[in-house]
Structure 1
Amino acid sequence: MTRYFVTLAIAIAAALFTPGLKAEKVVVYREGQVVSPQDVAAVLGKTRSISLLDDAPAGRAKPSTDSHADALSLPVRFAFNSADIVPSARSQLDALAEGIKLLAPQRIVTIEGHTDAKGSDAYNLELSRVRAHAVRDYLVQRHGIAAARLKTVAYGESRPINGSDPNAGVNRRVQFRGA
C-alpha cells in the first residue's frame, strides 16, 4: 500500500512540475496487426516516442498513418521473468527496425525499459535494463542497425502508463524515443 502512495505522489508531482507537458496521443497495435515501417518512421522522426507494450488494452487498437501521434504501442512479449523475446514479438520488432532504417542515419533512438510494480524496485530496474538491452541487441544483430544509434535506459516501475494500477500489464513495455 505504501508503494501505491509513493507512486501516486510521484505522478502528482510530475504533473505539477511539468506544466508544458501535454497528454500523449497513442496509436495502439494489437498482436498480429501489420505495422507499417512508414508509420514507425513518421512517429520516431517527428514526435516523442514509440512504445512496445506487453499487453495492449482491448478495444484501443487503431493503427493509422497519423503522423501527429506522440506514441506508437506495439505488443512485445518476453519469456516470464526474463529478457528472452518470444517469437510472436519478432514480426513487430522487424517492422520497427525497417522504420528505424527509414530515419536519417545520424538519428539516435533511445530504448527505454519499463516494468510493472510487481517485485522489488531493484529487481524491476534490472529487469527493465536487460529487456531494453535485449531489444537493442535484436535490432543490431538481426537488422544491422548501428549500435551507436541505439541508446538504452532503464526505468523499472518508476514511470507507469497506468498510474491507477501500477501492476497493470500495460506498464510492462519497451519504449522508443527519437532524438
Structure 2
Amino acid sequence: MTRYLSTLALALAAAFMTPQANAEKVIVYREGQLVDPQDVAAVLGRTRSIRLLDEAPSASAPASAPTPTKYVSAAAVALAKTSTRRESAPADASALSLPVRFAFDSTEILPAARAQLDALADGIKLLAPNSVVTVEGHTDAVGSDAYNLELSRGRARAVRDYLVQHHGIEAARLKTVGYGESRPIDHTDPNAGVNRRVQFHGA
C-alpha cells in the first residue's frame, strides 16, 4: 500500500509539472518553406524557457493558444504544411525547427537542406556577437533508442560544422545536443517524418 501511494504521489507530481515543462513555443518549418533571417534573429535572441509547438490553430482553439508538443495531432502537423511562407515570428516563440535533410542513415547534409540553413545562418549573424545558439538533433522512432540518440548527436554536430565552415560562425557560439527519438513533434506517429528535424534556440 505504501509503495502504491508513493507511486501515485510521483505520478500526480509529474502530471502537475508537465505544463510548466512545456512552456516554450517552437516555429516549425516544413521542407522548402522560406526562412526569414529577421525571424531567426528575433526568436533566437529571446531567453530560452521550455517547449511548446507553434502550429496552425484548430477551428475550436483561440489563435493565440499554443499546443503542447505532447498533444500535437497528425491533423495539426498537416495544417502546418499548407503555407510556403510563414507570417512574422510569434512574439512568444523561442525556438525554430527545420526539417534538415540528411543522406539515409548518415550525418551528410543533402543539398536540399542548404537554403534553409543558409537563411538560418544569416539570422544568427544578426544576433549579438557573444550570443550562443543550441543546435538540437532529433530523430523518428525507427531503430533503437541508442542508435537514434547517437545519430541525432552526429547530425547536430554536422549542422554546427556546416554553419562554421560555410558561414564563418564561431564554433564556440554553437552548442550541440542530441535527443534521439525522445522528443517527437507528432506523438500520434513516432515514425513520422516531421519528427526528424534539427531544432535551434538561444542558449
Task: Provide TM-score, normalisation by structure 2.
Answer: 0.71
Query: How far apart are the structure 2 equivalents of 1:158 and 1:98?
Result: 30
Deviation of 1:57 after TM superposition, in Å, equals 4.1
Paired residue for 2:34? Answer: 34
Residue in structure 2 matched with residue 8 of structure 1 by the alignment = none
Query: Tell me, which stretches of 5 or more residues in structure 2 are unaligned?
Result: 1-11, 54-75
Q: Report the AA paired with residue 17 of structure 2.
A: F
Q: Cα deviations across residues 4-24 of structure 1 (Å, max 9, x unaligned)?
A: xxxxxxxx9865433423455
Aligned to 1:84: 108
Q: 2:80 aligns with which of 60, 64, 71?
A: 60
Q: Which has the larger radius of gyration?
A: 2
Which residue in 1 is equivalent to 2:155?
A: 131
Pair 33,71 (structure 1): closer, same or farther in 2 beyond 3 Å: same
> CA 1:101–1:82 in structure 2 vs 1: closer, same or farther (change >3 Å)?
same
Deviations, residues 14-42 of structure 1 (Å, cap 9, x unaligned): 65433423455443333333211000011
**Structure 1 residue 117: Cα displacement:** 1.0
Partner Cα distance (1:151, 1:15) in 2 = 30
String of CA shifts for 1:124-152, please: whole Å, max 9, x gaps: 11100110010000000000000000111
Aligned mates of 1:97, 1:155 — CA distance in 2: 22
For residue 169 of structure 1, report the CA deviation from its aligned partner.
1.4
Task: Name the counterpart of 2:21.
Answer: 21
Maintained 8 Å contact 1:75/1:92: no
Cα 1:58–1:47, aligned 2, differ >3 Å: closer, same or farther? farther
Whether contact under 8 Å (2:99, 2:194) holds in the other structure is: no
**RMSD (CA atoms):** 2.5
Post-superposition offset of 1:174 = 1.1
1:141 aligned onto 2:161:
no
1:110 corresponds in structure 2 to: 134
Residues 94 and 47 from structure 1, CA distance in 2 versus in 1: closer, same or farther, beyond 3 angstroms?
same
5+ residue gaps, structure 1? 1-11
SS of structure 2 residue aligned to 1:20? helix
Shift of the 94–14 alpha-carbon distance from structure 1 to 2, 3 Å rule, reads farther
CA distance in 1, matches of 2:127, 2:173: 11
How many residues end up aligned between the 2 structures? 163
Q: Distance in 2 between matches of 1:45 and 1:27?
A: 14
Q: Percent identity?
A: 72
* Distance of aligned partners of 1:146 and 1:13 in 2 relative to their CA distance in 1, 3 Å threshold: farther
Query: Which piece of structure 1 moves more, 134-143 or 58-67?
Result: 58-67
